[in-house]
Structure 1
Amino acid sequence: MNQRGRDPENEQPVAPPAPRKRTGGRSARVREAVLAATLDQVAEHGIEGLTIGDVAARAGVAETTIYRRWGTRTALIAEAVTELAAVGNPAPDTGTLRGDLQQLAEQISHLISRPGIARLLGTTIALSTDPDVAAARHSFWNERFERTAHVIRRAVDRGELPDDADPREFLETLSAPLYFRLLVGDSPLDGAFIARCIDHTLTLYGKPE
């Protein structure tokens, strides 16, 4: 009689089946569905018109699932927008400061030109006295600056910027005109405007080329 666990042909130990790889599981799918539904609702109705019930219905989950994971709608919106900004927008590493700034400015332009984003930004400004909205806005910006600060630090290491260059101040100078034109102006965020923003920023903070 063959010993249990051995191949009858060559009496070698039979290897156990390889464990199945998890692909994210239900929790990851729920998170993705809820964040996507949140962005859709914001685009259609703004922050003021968004409800947890509508997001839950759109995502196909229970309201309690959203409350248990995010707690408040502002926390939910903050994570949804932060995720939108992060996905598909890796911090550039072209090897030159100008090349990195070009990619960063294009990423910002594409992001804030998405449907509903201008409305979302305007609402967060209008509701700036709301502590939850203010906290969500601060969380978003801190995350964005942290993700891109090393672009400036690398430029300092390469000698393209002075040693005392402040990453946040530098990135604020680059991005502020883009947001201003979106929210206040009526001109497109085209290539010429992006190039001008980069030139002005480098003139103000960079070393002579």
Structure 2
Amino acid sequence: MRAATLAELVDRGYAELTVEGVAQRAGVHKTTLYRRWKDRESLVVDALSEHFATDIPTPDTGALETDLQTIARALVQSMTGPVGRAVQTAMFSDARRLPEIAEGQRRVLADRFRRAAPVVARAIERGEVPAGTDPAELLKTLAAPIYYRLLVSADPVGEDTADQAVRITLAAARAGALTQGSQGSAVALKATDEDTGQE
């Protein structure tokens, strides 16, 4: 069902995707889908969550830098493929006129943040980043340069984009800028002041 949902998303876009269309593509009756998914939104979100869980791994390479590199490169590859392009259209274009997209986007991102938590926890244990580093903020910082190119500047997106995003994220995390609460901002400001010689 999830594969059929993604195929419909790629071929028809979210606005024209229907439970009936997914059922027809999957070769089942629509009541089969409704027994598990209550509506189109839950079907799409479930399919996207599984897609991203498969396409964007939760690595354990032994170092935060290589963990982030694995995630960032996988994100680039996923978002520049057919499903990724369909997701961009659904989540960033249709979102303005289809209210249910916002909730779907929130749920997909929440799943990604949850999967990032072990990566950050291990990095904290190894002393690579400060205690209290927020997995969600770290992942947002990692993804931001990639999405900026995809959605705003239309600059080419490749492995060099992913690697640059990793460098930015590591610098911010090590400076304490991605810790939970206001402490992170204070630590980051102190680090900046020390670098510039300000009191």
- Give the alignment's TM-score, normalised by structure 2: 0.81
Residue 127 of structure 1 is aligned with which of 84, 88, 95? 95
The CA distance in 2 between the partners of 1:85 and 1:119, in whole Å, is 13
Following superposition, the deviation at residue 117 of structure 1 comes to: 2.2
Deviations 1:161-202 (A, max 9, x none): 011211111110011111221122322222222221111111
Alpha-carbon contact 1:118-1:183 (below 8 Å) kept: no
Superposed displacement of residue 142, structure 1: 0.7
Amino acid at match of 2:69: Q
Q: Give, in whole Å, the separation in 1 of the partners of 2:170 and 2:54.
A: 27
2:22 is matched with which residue: 49, 55, 58?
55
Number of matched residues? Answer: 175
Write the distance in 1 (CA, Å) between the matches of 2:15 and 2:164.
35
For residue 81 of structure 2, the aligned residue among 103, 110, 114 is 114
Q: What displacement does 1:145 show? A: 0.8
Q: Is residue 204 of structure 1 aligned with residue 172 of structure 2?
A: yes
Q: Which has the higher helix share?
A: 2
Give the Cα–Cα distance (whole angstroms) in 1 for the partners of residues 96 and 109 of structure 2: 14
Residue of structure 1 in register with 2:195 after alignment: none
Q: Label 1:94 to 1:169 Cα distance change in 2 as closer, same or farther (>3 A).
A: same
What residue is the counterpart of 1:187 in the other structure? 155
Tell me the residue number matched to 1:174: 142
Query: Which residue in 1 is equivalent to 2:40?
Result: 73
Paired position in structure 1 for 2:190: none
TM-score for both structures, normalised by structure 1: 0.77
Kindly provide the amino acid, as one letter, of the partner of residue 67 in structure 1.
Answer: Y
1:14-25 equivalence runs, <5 A: none
Stretch of structure 1 that moved more, 80-89 or 69-78: 80-89
CA RMSD of superposed structures (Å):
1.8
Q: How many percent identity over aligned positions?
A: 37
Give the superposition deviation at 1:137: 1.4
Supply the distance in 2 between the matched residues of 1:172 and 1:93 (Cα, whole angstroms): 19
Amino acid at match of 2:41: T
Deviation at 1:88, TM superposition (A): 4.9
Q: Which residue does 1:27 correspond to in 2?
A: none
Which consecutive residues of structure 2, in runs of 5 or more, have no partner in the other structure? 177-199
CA–CA distance in 2 between the matches of 1:84 and 1:50?
A: 17
| Secondary structure of 1:160 counterpart | coil
Larger radius of gyration: 1
1:165 aligns with 2:96: no
Q: Does 1:97 align with 2:97?
A: no
Supply the distance in 2 between the matched residues of 1:82 and 1:101 (Cα, whole angstroms). Answer: 19
In 2, are the aligned partners of 1:46 and 1:116 still within 8 Å (CA)?
Answer: no
Q: 1:141 aligns with which of 94, 104, 109?
A: 109
Cross-structure match for 1:41: 8
For residues 82-127 of structure 1, what are the alpha-carbon distances to aligned partners after superposition, in whole Å with 9 as ceiling and x for unaligned? 1111125431111111010110101111111111422322322332
